[in-house]
Structure 1
């Protein structure tokens, strides 16, 4: 059984911006950045959260579109977020931890420290690099925020064991 790919293939033909081979899809967000709101309620962040648990079992992933690359990045970021949380972390502490994680310095595709350079092309110039960095930072902030909403849906003092069970899983044997 193959891994689940992104359903945002049709959005690639629309007015979306592509940097390297990573598409900047619209997202619903309350954080500042270059992303604009989509025409529909379901966005790439919801899709990433929905497909995370199913895809985290796969060691291989066939990339069919540039939106799959954004999905891969999101899944790997969720794995990093879950690894930072523990069973005793309450909601307020988790917000602080994941805000720090989403805002900390990170490498872009094409940089020396980026773990998936074989799958991603780097930005062509400095302005594209700045745009990609601000988009990915906004993407990370919104993804961390929505992840916290799902993890602490039942109780603000105890994270969901159904999410924390995936801390030992490594999607594609990689991490950011």
Structure 2
């Protein structure tokens, strides 16, 4: 059974930095991303959250387009977020989790082309310094939005504790990799 790929691979007007897609998102955070105004429309962040649990079971992932590369980065970031939340002995409440993951999302991180980026074999570096900085700012915005939506899903049941159905995936590694944060 093959892994699930991004539905945005065939998007014609998407900008690419290196070979990674820069797609519009619904966001309340500032950044360079084009914004989707329709709140009911799905975006790459929703897709990453929807596909995370299924794709985290796969060790191999065939990249079929630039949106798949962004999907890989987002799925690995979700995995790192869950590991960050499970690191404490007492599970954080929703507000603490939001603060922790928001801080984690803006911390320094490598981008494709950096020497310490773990997936450089699958990603092309940005063409120039300005494109690299644009990609970093875009990824910060996407990571912030992803962290906020992840916390909403983790605490959706109203118990004040993260969902065990999500936290069960803390030990699973998509492609046996990590972003190294």
Shorter-normalised TM-score: what interval?
over 0.9
Contact kept in structure 1, 2:10 and 2:65, CA below 8 Å? no
Counterpart in 2 of 1:74? Answer: 74
CA deviation vs aligned residue, 1:90-137 (integer Å, no higher than 9, x gap): 111111110111010001101011000000011111110110000000
Q: CA deviation at 1:9?
A: 2.2
Contact kept in structure 2, 1:91 and 1:156, CA below 8 Å? no
Counterpart in 2 of 1:8? Answer: 8
- Matches for 1:14-93 after TM superposition, within 5 Å: 14=13, 16-38=14-36, 41-86=41-86, 88-93=91-96
Give the number of aligned pairs.
174
Tell me how large the CA RMSD over aligned residues is: 1.2
TM-score (norm 1): 0.95
Q: CA deviation at 1:38?
A: 3.3
Query: SS at 1:85's partner residue?
Result: helix
Structure 1 unaligned segments of length 5 or more: list them: none
Structure 2 unaligned segments of length 5 or more: list them: none
Residue 133 in structure 1 maps to residue 136 in structure 2: yes
Query: SS at 1:10's partner residue?
Result: coil
Moved over 3 A (4+): none
Residue 150 in structure 1 maps to residue 180 in structure 2: no
Q: Which of 102, 105, 109 in structure 2 is aligned with 1:106?
A: 109
CA deviation vs aligned residue, 1:143-175 (integer Å, no higher than 9, x gap): 000000000001252110000000000000000
Shifted more, 151-160 versus 96-105: the winner is 151-160
Contact kept in structure 1, 2:25 and 2:43, CA below 8 Å? yes
TM-score (norm 2): 0.93
Higher fraction of helix: 1
